[in-house]
A = this chain, B = another copy of it.
């Protein structure tokens, strides 16, 4: 057992090869879609990226961490390419939510986004550390956009003044994610629309004049 590399001293980020970094992230996304997360190996990522294994081990602690970074980059790309101009606010809350939730449905149904997303969800379910970073870096920022829009609606008088905003966000995103993850039924635009209507209006019988 050779001697210790004493705690793997910190490599210098300034000297990092950005070309290699991008190649690694790209390769991990391609490969996870090709062979699935279980059969994804760091050796294969290194080979596909044209990189030594050590270059991956130097900068990431696990293949899950690589995928998280890759997904963050992917999300950024999607935002820029998709011409994202902020969460829509036309004044019509239901319409705005349906628009965004439909887009989310499309993303869930897009193989390109689904593969890494499933992988991260799976890995996060049994790795609290990864789960925390996944939630913090990828999920929270997105949920915050919903919350912001809902807050605007609440102040505009469209929502109950005492409504719990994080709860409401999860009422929208939770059922969608649940159906996607468990596969209880197909994910469609109609589902997104109906969900928004029921979250806003409730499922109880309306008894008014």
Binding site for B on A (CB under 8 A): 36-38, 118-119, 121-128, 131-132, 134-135, 139-140, 143, 157-161, 163-164, 166-168, 170-171, 173-179, 181-185, 191, 194-195, 198-206, 208-209
Structural contact, A164 and B194, CB atoms closer than 8 A: yes
Q: A174-B179, A198-B168 are in contact. Are A204 and B135 (CB under 8 A)?
A: no
Q: Is the interface of A mostly helix, strand, loop or mixed?
A: helix
Instruction: With CB as the reference atom, state the residue of chain B lying closest to A140.
Output: B184
Interface centre among A122, A124, A160, A204 (most CB of B within 10 A): A204
Structural contact, B200 and A203, CB atoms closer than 8 A: yes
Q: Write out the residue numbers on chain B whose beta carbons fall within 8 Å of the beta carbon of A191.
A: 167
Q: Write out the residue numbers on chain B whose beta carbons fall within 8 Å of the beta carbon of A121.
A: 122, 125, 181
Q: Write out the residue numbers on chain B whose beta carbons fall within 8 Å of the beta carbon of A119.
A: 125-126
Structural contact, B159 and A204, CB atoms closer than 8 A: yes
A175 CA to B163 CA, complexed, in Å: 15
Interface centre among A158, A167, A185 (most CB of B within 10 A): A167
Contacts A173-B178, A199-B202, A201-B202 known; 8 new A-B pairs at CB < 8 A: A128-B183, A135-B183, A143-B184, A167-B194, A170-B178, A171-B171, A174-B179, A202-B203
Structural contact, B201 and A204, CB atoms closer than 8 A: yes
Q: Write out the residue numbers on chain B whose beta carbons fall within 8 Å of the beta carbon of A140.
A: 184
A176 CA to B38 CA, complexed, in Å: 27
A173 CA to B38 CA, complexed, in Å: 28
List 23 A–B pairs whose Cβ atoms lie within 8 Å, in order of A's numbering. Answer: A37-B126, A122-B125, A124-B181, A124-B182, A135-B182, A139-B184, A159-B204, A164-B194, A164-B198, A167-B194, A168-B203, A170-B184, A171-B171, A171-B174, A171-B195, A171-B199, A173-B178, A174-B178, A174-B179, A199-B199, A200-B203, A202-B202, A202-B204
Q: Write out the residue numbers on chain B whose beta carbons fall within 8 Å of the beta carbon of A209.
A: 208-209
Contact of A199 among B124, B135, B203 (CB under 8 A): B203
